[in-house]
Amino acid sequence: AFQRTEAPRPPGAKDLHAYPWDKSSLKSMPVDLQQFKKLDAYALKVNVKNSVEDLVKALLQQARTDLEKVRAIWMWICHHIEYDVVGYHNKSQLSSKPRDVLQMGKSICEGYAELFEHMCSLAGIQCKKLSGHAKGHGYKTGQTFTGDSDHAWNAVYLEGRWHLLDSTWGSGSVDDSFTKFTYRYNEFYFLTHPALFINNHFPDNSNWQLLKPTLTLKEFENNMLHNSNFYTLGLLAAHPDTPIIQTVNGKASVSVECRPGTLFMFKLKGAEKHGLMTLIKHGMKLDVYPQKTGSHKLEIFAKPSKAEASDDVYKCVVEYVVECESVDEATRFPRDLHQPVGPSWFSEHQGFLRPSHREPVLHTNDGRCSFTFTLGKDISVLTSLHTDGSSLAEDMGRRHVLQTHRGNQIELKVHLPHAGSFVLKIYSKKKSDPGNYDYIFNYLIRCLNTEVKWPAFPRSYSKWLQDYEILEPLSGLLPANRNVQFKLKMHGIAKVLVQAENIHPLTQNRGCWEGTCSTSGCREVFVMVHENANHSFYSHVLKYEVETQ
């Protein structure tokens, strides 16, 4: 029933792929996964355990081409053989003979690779078991490899060329303590492009890298480890491309290049702190400032922005070790700073277009700054200012930012209460939406000038409409015993009054309501409007405080 396979030929020139990776395909030959759907489903259901021959016979019933035969064998092994964590610690008791692996339903890499090779040869397909070093479980960034090889995988001969696969890593993963195996199918290790496979598999015989040029063990050790998530999520490159980074003046910088629409986060020593990350169209940039000397693990996570619910989690894509020689004490970030910082394609998708400031950090000398955006349709905006310590309670944090709308333009004026580092948070919702505001993005604002001490803007009430504008006074704290000039842009109202100790009406002049009011003898000043000349009641729109003597 089975054809004999001739002895496998060694890899030659036509099997080789260029290194480094050309960013084209994740696989070494064109594979249409949609076309495998029926075959995959069939292979998973095959339940034959009495002999390897009968198992292969059953799998081949639905497979015509060599590629389909290899796929059916691969699918079955990845979903029916589990990694033997107990056997791994006691290898002398372990058999990796195909018949025993099938009976037990579990093995270590050696057994996976031997079963794969044997099933392929029964199916008439040339297959070879390869051994070498792998950056797998227990690998430490920057470590060297000595002594015997520690992993096994396979090469298969399809359509006139050799291809690589690893059914152990295709089947799932082992937890950190190496006591529990979890089935988690990984498509990445089926016919992986050799320039990507070399990332974590180094064969004893370098011809089986299937690369030109081949890498040395030293290059393999020094190369950045990108796990399969890195490529499956469409990431293309990470810089620097060495796993250990030295800080320069207390700072280390990393960037990732990817296809558009990827979201990122990071952890330095397990916490999303001491860093400034910005999203750019084709990736992200990150500066970290460790606050202690020594070695710090830096992990970068990614997820697609339009994720299916099942994929809507951040997955670790790359790890660095940051060696910090000196700490930059001056660069500390406020607790409330949220990553990423600054505007990006993400805030643009949420309707904040053409930002006046594209950089994440803004330095102000006099403690004042202003941000403008063009707003998408039907957007209502909420803002707040935050800093460490208790100088800004929540309601005050809102009142240090003043929103002004002119058509579809929004201006955010910020007056800082004192020197320091502040976070300007920006939230939005659809005007037509009754629900809560969603956080969109934030800026970091820095001011070193210790003379700075701006009061909050006046308090506004619900009748103060979005496109009204305060021209003066902008300060919510008025001087005592002074005549204060008022100038407000408001439309669609009949009368405006300023109520201090006495009532002062404002007069309309070219779309502005203007006038003066004395602050003597009062602690608060209100601006009130008459919406309709025939009504007798007023609505409060603004409230100012008056300085105490």
| Residues known to be catalytic | 109, 151, 166
Task: Report residue 498 as tokens.
Answer: 């300023």
CA distance 133 to 131: 7
Tell me the helix, strand and coil percentages in the chain, rounded to 5: 20, 35, 45
Strand-pair partners of 210:
none
Q: Which of 37, 328, 75 is nearest to 191 (CA)?
A: 75
Place of tokens 């994929």: 311
Compute the distance between CA of residue 53 and CA of residue 102 in angstroms, rounded to an integer.
11
List C-alpha distances in Å: 323 to 268, 295, 299, 327. Answer: 12, 5, 14, 11
Six-digit token string for 75? 């699918």
Q: Which residues contact 469 (CB under 8 A, 6 or more apart)?
A: 404, 406, 488, 489
Give the span between the Cα atoms of 67 and 254, in whole angstroms.
40
Short-list 99, 100, 97, CA closest to 114: 97
Task: Classify residue 131 by its DSSP letter.
Answer: E
Question: How far, in Å, CA of 325 to CA of 15, rounded?
Answer: 46
* Residue 438: its H or E element: strand 438-447
Question: In sequence order, what are the beta bridge partners of 438?
Answer: 428
Q: Given the structure tokens 């941000």, which residue do they identify?
A: 371
Question: At CA 30, angle to CA 27 and CA 33, rounded to 5?
Answer: 85
141: tokens are 């960034």
Residue among 519, 513, 507 at smallest CA distance from 469: 513
